[in-house]
Amino acid sequence: MTFTAEAQAVWDKVPEATRAKLLDSGFCAHCLAKKHFDLVEAEIRDRSLALIGKCGSCGHRVVRLIELD
C-alpha cells in the first residue's frame, strides 16, 4: 500500500469496524455498484481522505472519498 504520511495519520485513527465498512462501500464505475475493494493507495485531497484501490469483483480502479471535519 502507498499512503502519504498525512493519509496514514488519518487512517490510523479510523476504528477497525469503520475501516471494514469503508472498504466494503467503494463505488466501482465498471460494476456500477458498491463493492468491496482492496486498498492500494491513500492521500489527502482538499479536505477529504481519498482511498484508492481495486474492485474485489473486477479489479477496476475504485476511489472512495471520505470527508474530514
Residues binding Zn ion (CB under 5 A): 28, 30-31, 55, 57-58, 60
SS3 assignment, position 4: coil
Considering the complex, state which of residue 7 and residue 53 has its C-beta at the smaller distance from Zn ion.
Answer: 53
Q: From the CB of 21, what's the least distance to Zn ion, in Å?
A: 18
Considering the complex, state which of residue 30 and residue 45 has its C-beta at the smaller distance from Zn ion.
Answer: 30
Which residues are bridge partners to 63 per DSSP?
52
Pairing of strands 48-55, 33-35: unpaired
Closest listed residue to residue 29, CA positions, set 10, 11, 55, 52: 55
Considering the complex, state which of residue 8 and residue 57 has its C-beta at the smaller distance from Zn ion.
Answer: 57
